[in-house]
């Protein structure tokens, strides 16, 4: 090595031999890394994970074609093999968007049910019979004992057992009523807490994507709650006005999982059975940012970064090996090429593997026991391993399908249901376009023996004069130019298309008039008839809403509810309650609930009902009606405190006629009186016995 002086100072001069040697070493290191990647040795914890991954990946291959076909149906593109056949035949490549149109209708319809209503499609409700606390039972016993003590103090005989049981039952009913009221208030506070957590996580945006997926793919998956550190913008008062302040906070986050990236265990029917893999793609920055994050192994992460820098970890997941085509890799994963493929594993792992990785005996006390864990793995390195601390071992993955398949993880989406219909309509549309082109003008037959040399026969022009020769064979009976008009089959093809559009309506349970189409006859020609048809169509789609309620909202929000019950510091939100998904109920009441509220409001607008309901009860009804009309209830109905004060003031006012508050109401002998104090004359009841 030598140095050379320049105007900028000393620079290093490396001979060619040194450069060649370094290049050879780099090439050898790359080759060794690729060889190690191909023949990667998986042992211990990584070996267990890779064995499960290969089984899950192979089982997913049977569903991969359906996922790709569903994606193409939504984007209205042909399968590559089908497209090659069409191009070989020639002609039109038109694609009728039957399935894509149905997906758009269902997506909009589901968003209206779950996200477009004033009321949430879920709620927190107290259990029908709240659990009695030990102190409640003690208070009941004290009340019974006090009655016995009072009897002895007054010199009365010991109360009968029936009286004591009646006293205990009365106290229990009173305590139970108080518990119900307390549980209702606690549930409302928990509901507001969960609603705030969902708003911070931007849950509606991810849930809207999920609703799009459930109409498209065999199954749609939501992930959460997952704890994430996220930057939060707050506005603080600095004394000179509000100023922005950026801080970090741990929130419960939610994700719509790409079905291409989820790999359930073979034979699993839900994400909670067997084990589960999610495929992540990370950039180098994403991976480097995990260094120092609690739970991640810094040495393993740095080993991954070093190996990748010399060409390692290429296709370590085995999506396509030698001899296999890229068709075995999901198309959407080919388009999103990142530097690192990572696997997130959820499932059981033997304790000894976790102890070998680094978990201590305080977390893993039995090496032979199977523990529910979450593991992140890149190549042969496990970069994270932690136990599932959910009390019930519930994983943060939940799935639902447009149409469930009993005993199967993957159900059926609209592209599966309409696959045959879409194929026939596509074929009919291509044939129609081809036939229109062929039948749009005449076919021309030219006898080139009778045309002079150098005559252009590649185009037709009006008023063209043709010069022809006699036939060289001595016969001039044949025409030099003949025109043939091909038959048009447009009407027949349109009939086929219309019939299969009707099949699409029937198979998908999504009629065209749900999107505002005027192609409806019979009962649909009148407003009331169309309303009945819409109601009948909703009954078919209620099953989809029920699948989302039972498969996604109820279990996912229950997991969040349990997390708050266990870890939240606010004890005022903790009580005996449960999560209730109300999507299907909301669908049934979307059109009729407001009408029924208005009818109830009118029916109770009388003095007798007002005495029963009181001002507070009337205010509750008015708030419900105002909420249904999306009005600001705080401005329409005064707060409960003001209503209570108004009711007390009304009770304190003397009745009409100048009588005092406690003045007796004038009555007849039967003791009856009207609301204004007027006596009631009873001419039908027998006179009282003297």
* Interval 64-87: pLDDT, tens: 999 999 999 999 999 888 888 888
Among 427, 461, 484, the domain-final residue is 484
The mean-pLDDT minimum among 282-296, 322-336, 647-661 falls in 322-336
Pick the most confident of 72-86, 234-248, 623-637.
72-86
Dihedral of CA 319/321/324/326: which sign?
positive
Closest of 347, 358, 415 to residue 383, by C-alpha: 358
pLDDT at 515: 58
Domain co-membership, 289 together with 343: yes
pLDDT at 438: 87
Q: pLDDT digit string (tens) for 154-196?
A: 667 666 677 666 766 676 677 777 777 888 888 899 999 999 9
∠ CA(382), CA(52), CA(346), 5° rounding? 60
- Looking at residues 433-455, what average pLDDT do you find? 84
pLDDT confidence of 601, banded at 50, 70, 90? confident
Closest of 32, 121, 63 to residue 587, by C-alpha: 121
- Greater pLDDT, 27 or 59: 59
pLDDT at 275: 95
Beta 397-400 vs 443-446: how paired, if at all?
unpaired
Q: CB of 42 within 8 A of CB of 50?
A: yes
β-sheet with 397-400: strand ranges across:
242-257, 220-237, 397-400
- Percent of the chain's residues with pLDDT above 90: 27
pLDDT at 138: 66
3-class state of residue 477 by DSSP: coil
- How far is the C-alpha of 334 from the C-alpha of 319, rounded, in Å? 10
Give 622-683 as a 3 state SS string: HHHHHHHCCCCHHHHCCCHHHHHHHHHHHHHCCCCCCCCCCCCCCCCCCCCECCCCCECCCC
- Percent of the chain's residues with pLDDT above 70: 68
- Greater pLDDT, 145 or 421: 421
β-sheet with 262-264: strand ranges across:
262-264, 276-282, 340-350, 370-378, 381-387
Domain co-membership, 349 together with 299: yes
pLDDT at 668: 45
- Greater pLDDT, 396 or 641: 396
Whether 624 has a pLDDT exceeding 50, the answer reads: yes
Whether 591 has a pLDDT exceeding 70, the answer reads: no
Whether 11 has a pLDDT exceeding 50, the answer reads: no
pLDDT at 530: 42
pLDDT confidence of 685, banded at 50, 70, 90? low
Pick the most confident of 19-33, 464-478, 599-613.
599-613
Whether 255 has a pLDDT exceeding 90, the answer reads: yes
Establish how many alpha carbons lie within 13 A of residue 652's alpha carbon, considering only the half-sphere containing its beta carbon: 6
- Greater pLDDT, 317 or 327: 317
Q: Answer whether residue 83 is part of any domain.
A: no
Q: CB of 505 within 8 A of CB of 517?
A: no
Domain co-membership, 448 together with 533: no
Q: CB of 444 within 8 A of CB of 482?
A: yes
Beta 9-13 vs 122-126: how paired, if at all?
unpaired
Total count of domains within the chain = 6
- Greater pLDDT, 249 or 296: 296
Q: Answer whether residue 19 is part of any domain.
A: yes
Among 393, 427, 456, the domain-final residue is 393
Residue 232 φ then ψ, to 5°: -125, 135
Domain co-membership, 302 together with 383: yes
Domain co-membership, 512 together with 611: no
Q: Answer whether residue 682 is part of any domain.
A: no
Whether 679 has a pLDDT exceeding 70, the answer reads: no
Crossing angle, helix 203-216 and helix 527-548, to 10 degrees?
A: 100
Whether 567 has a pLDDT exceeding 60, the answer reads: yes
Query: What mean pLDDT value characterizes the chain?
Result: 78
Q: pLDDT digit string (tens) for 482-541?
A: 888 888 899 999 999 999 988 998 888 887 766 555 554 444 444 444 444 455 556 667
- Quickly list H helices, 115-234: 134-153, 161-200, 203-216
Q: Which domain holds residue 11?
A: 2-38
Whether 62 has a pLDDT exceeding 70, the answer reads: yes
Domain co-membership, 333 together with 217: no
Q: Residue written as tokens 């004359």?
A: 681
Q: Answer whether residue 95 is part of any domain.
A: no
- Greater pLDDT, 201 or 590: 201
Residue 403 token pair: 């149409």
- Classify residue 564 as exposed, middle or buried by CB count within 10 Å of its CB (0-12, 13-18, 19+): middle
Closest of 525, 526, 534, 631 to residue 590, by C-alpha: 534
pLDDT at 286: 85
**Residue 61 Cα to chain centre, angstroms:** 24
Does this model's pTM top 0.75? My answer is: no
pLDDT confidence of 325, banded at 50, 70, 90? very low
Domain co-membership, 245 together with 287: no
pLDDT at 461: 80
The mean-pLDDT minimum among 186-190, 263-267, 289-293, 661-665 falls in 661-665
Domain co-membership, 113 together with 138: no
Domain co-membership, 381 together with 319: yes
Q: CB of 419 within 8 A of CB of 69?
A: yes
pLDDT at 39: 47
Q: Answer whether residue 688 is part of any domain.
A: no
pLDDT confidence of 454, banded at 50, 70, 90? confident
pLDDT at 499: 92
Beta 443-446 vs 340-350: how paired, if at all?
unpaired
- Looking at residues 437-448, what average pLDDT do you find? 84
Residue 51 token pair: 């064995």
Strand partners, 382: 377
- Determine how many CB atoms are found less than 10 A away from the CB of residue 380: 23
- Looking at residues 334-347, what average pLDDT do you find? 75
Q: Answer whether residue 587 is part of any domain.
A: no
Q: Answer whether residue 119 is part of any domain.
A: yes
Q: Answer whether residue 378 is part of any domain.
A: yes
Domain co-membership, 178 together with 117: no
Domain co-membership, 432 together with 554: yes
- How far is the C-alpha of 238 from the C-alpha of 243, rounded, in Å? 7
The mean-pLDDT minimum among 259-263, 584-588, 670-674 falls in 670-674
pLDDT at 510: 83
The CA radius of gyration of the chain, in Å to the nearest whole number, is 39
Domain co-membership, 413 together with 529: yes
Beta 481-484 vs 122-126: how paired, if at all?
unpaired
């Amino acid at each position: 090595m030598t140095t050379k002086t320049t105007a900028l100072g000393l620079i290093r001069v490396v001979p060619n031999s040194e450069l060649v040697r370094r290049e050879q070493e780099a090439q050898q290191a790359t080759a060794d890394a690729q060889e190690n990647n191909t023949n990667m040795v998986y042992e211990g914890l990584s070996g267990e994970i890779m064995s499960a991954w290969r089984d899950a990946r192979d089982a997913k291959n049977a569903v991969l074609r359906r996922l790709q076909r569903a994606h193409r149906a939504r984007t209205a593109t042909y399968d590559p093999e089908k497209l090659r056949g069409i191009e070989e035949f020639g002609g039109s490549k038109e694609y009728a968007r039957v399935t894509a149109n149905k997906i758009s209708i269902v997506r909009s319809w589901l968003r209206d049910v779950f996200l477009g209503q004033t009321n949430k499609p879920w709620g927190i409700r107290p259990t029908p019979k709240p659990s009695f606390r030990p102190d409640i039972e003690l208070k009941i016993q004290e009340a019974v004992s006090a009655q016995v003590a009072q009897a002895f103090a007054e010199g009365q005989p010991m109360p009968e057992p029936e009286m004591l049981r009646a006293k205990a039952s009365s106290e229990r009913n009173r305590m139970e009523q108080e518990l119900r009221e307390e549980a209702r208030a606690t549930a409302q506070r928990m509901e507001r807490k969960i609603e705030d957590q969902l708003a911070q996580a931007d849950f509606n945006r991810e849930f809207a994507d999920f609703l799009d997926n459930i109409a498209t793919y065999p199954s749609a998956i939501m992930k959460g709650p997952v704890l994430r550190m996220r930057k939060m913008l707050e506005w603080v008062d600095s004394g000179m006005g509000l100023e922005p302040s950026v801080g970090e906070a741990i929130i419960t986050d939610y994700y719509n999982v790409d079905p291409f990236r989820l790999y359930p265990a073979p034979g699993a029917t839900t994400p909670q059975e067997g084990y589960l893999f999610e495929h992540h793609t990370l950039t180098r920055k994403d991976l480097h940012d995990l260094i120092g994050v609690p739970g991640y192994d810094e040495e393993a992460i740095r080993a991954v970064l070093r190996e990748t820098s010399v060409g390692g970890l290429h296709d370590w997941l085995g999506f396509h090996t030698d001899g296999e085509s890229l068709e075995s890799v999901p198309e959407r994963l080919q388009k999103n090429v990142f530097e690192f493929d990572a696997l997130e594993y959820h499932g059981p792992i033997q304790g000894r593997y976790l102890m070998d990785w680094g978990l201590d005996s305080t977390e893993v006390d039995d090496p032979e026991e199977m523990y529910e864990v979450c593991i992140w793995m890149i190549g042969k390195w496990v970069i994270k391993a932690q136990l599932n601390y959910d009390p019930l071992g519930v994983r943060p993955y939940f799935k639902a399908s447009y149409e469930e398949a009993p005993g199967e993880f993957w159900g059926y989406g609209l592209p599966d249901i309409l696959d045959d219909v879409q194929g026939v309509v596509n074929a009919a549309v291509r044939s129609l376009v081809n036939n229109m082109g062929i039948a749009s003008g005449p076919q021309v037959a030219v006898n080139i023996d009778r045309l002079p040399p150098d005559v252009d026969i590649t185009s037709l022009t009006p008023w063209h004069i043709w010069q022809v020769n006699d036939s060289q064979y001595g016969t001039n009976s044949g025409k030099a130019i003949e025109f043939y008009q091909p038959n048009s089959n447009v009407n027949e093809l349109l009939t086929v298309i219309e019939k299969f559009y009707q099949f699409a309506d029937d198979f998908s349970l999504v009629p065209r008039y749900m999107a505002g189409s005027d192609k409806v006859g019979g009962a649909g020609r009148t407003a009331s008839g169309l309303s009945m048809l819409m109601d009948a169509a909703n009954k078919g789609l209620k099953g989809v809403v029920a699948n989302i309620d039972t498969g996604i909202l109820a279990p996912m929000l229950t997991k969040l509810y349990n997390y708050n019950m266990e870890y939240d510091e606010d004890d005022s939100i903790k009580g005996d309650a449960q999560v209730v998904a109300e999507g299907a109920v909301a669908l049934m009441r979307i059109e009729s609930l407001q009408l029924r509220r208005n009818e109830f409001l009118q029916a109770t607008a009388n003095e007798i009902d007002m005495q029963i309901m009181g001002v507070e009860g009337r205010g509750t009804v008015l708030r419900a009606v105002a909420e249904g009309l999306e009005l600001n209830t705080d401005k329409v109905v005064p707060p409960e405190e003001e209503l209570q004060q108004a009711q007390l003031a009304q009770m304190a006012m003397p009745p009409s006629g100048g009588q005092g508050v406690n003045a007796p109401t004038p009555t007849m002998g039967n003791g009856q009186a009207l609301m204004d104090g007027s006596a009631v004359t009873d001419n039908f009841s027998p006179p009282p016995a003297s």
